[in-house]
Amino acid sequence: MTNEIVKNLDFGVNYKQSEITINNKEQLIETVQQYANKYQGFIFTEEDIQQGKSVRAELNKVATAIDNKRKDVKKQFNQPYVAFESEVKGIISLIKDVSDPIDAGIKELEEKQRKEKIKTITELVSKMALENEVDPSMIVTSQSWTNKTTSMKQIEESIQFQITNIKQEEERKKGEIAIVKSVCEAYKIDSTGWLSHLDRGDSAAVIVQKIEASEKRKREEEERKKAEEARRAELEKQRLVAQEQAEKERMEQEATKEVYLEDDVLTEENYVEDPFVEVPPEVVNEPVFEQPRTSIIEITGTETQFKQLNQYMKTLGIKVKAYNG
């Protein structure tokens, strides 16, 4: 049927090419060229300007007349084409009246076939994915699969290729997860946070490096804290020892404390012998006949020193009395 239509529609167009000529063209060109040569590079003066305007007006008249003639010839020349064009458009309109419903029917059928193919593809994706224990949503479909030129065999091969890659990626990810979990177990830390780095694109090797660096910082911080605690403990120990020693000395002083005269001046009357104080040996002096003298002095020292001084002065026979200055 198609061949018969084409055969019956075989047609031709008779066309005779027209010739358009300009009468006295050579003379016109020569005249215009003479004016052009005469006035090319010409510098007008006040005396020449009127003549220049006159020549310009004449040349413009010639140019206008020639262009008007061109327009008139074009209009007449186009009349046969305009009529031919109108006839052709009318025939095309008749053809479209027939072809448009056919085109609509073809498109409707093709759309139906496309939807049926999409349904078949969807079912195939679901079937192959489930058989391979893969999430069907992970299979990426292509718009080109709905084309008539793409066979179901090609589509199946493309789906299988994606499934293979997905399963390989899952195996790789399982291995990465196992590595991260193993390292976290070795360090006795929770792996949840570190595993999230895999979703961010980090490899297991990179994550392990980060874990080791983090644990190293933790150890250094713990060692620093321990050293600081040890230093503080040592200082506290020294403080307690010093405090204990001071308290011991205070208690010893309280136990051996004597009653002194006002201003801590020692006399024979208020001296009490301290058995714990080492008393210097008694000094035996040869009798010396010296006149005694009296001096007022200020003495500063500890309780023990006062006791020793008191004993020493006593052995020398020095008399002491309180001074209320």
Q: What is the pLDDT of residues 97-106, one digit of tens each?
A: 888 988 999 9
User: What pLDDT is recorded for position 286?
Assistant: 54
User: What pLDDT is recorded for position 296?
Assistant: 73
Which tens digits make up the pLDDT trace of 169-213?
Answer: 999 999 999 999 999 999 888 988 998 998 888 888 999 999 999
DSSP assigned state of 277: S
User: What pLDDT is recorded for position 276?
Assistant: 47
Instruction: Determine the average pLDDT of the residues in 247-252.
Output: 84
User: What pLDDT is recorded for position 261?
Assistant: 42
User: What pLDDT is recorded for position 262?
Assistant: 44
Which tens digits make up the pLDDT trace of 125-171?
Answer: 999 999 999 999 999 999 999 998 999 999 999 999 999 999 999 99
Q: Which residue has the tokens 């979703």?
A: 199
The total of other beta-carbon atoms located within 10 Å of residue 208's CB is: 17
Assess whether pLDDT exceeds 90 at residue 309.
no
Longest dimension (CA), the chain: 176
Residues 145, 155: contact at Cβ < 8 Å? yes
Which tens digits make up the pLDDT trace of 273-288?
Answer: 554 445 555 555 555 5
What would the DSSP string read from start to end of 22-81? -TTHHHHHHHHHHHHHHHTT----TTTHHHHHHHHHHHHHHHHHHHHHHHHHHHHHHHHH
User: What pLDDT is recorded for position 5?
Assistant: 59
| 112 vs 23: which has the higher pLDDT | 112
User: What pLDDT is recorded for position 299?
Assistant: 80
User: At what angle are helices 204-255 and 192-199 packed, to 10 degrees?
Assistant: 150
Residues 311, 277: contact at Cβ < 8 Å? yes
Assess whether pLDDT exceeds 50 at residue 263.
no
Assigned token pair, 78: 């186009």
- Cα torsion angle, 44, 46, 48, 49, sign: positive
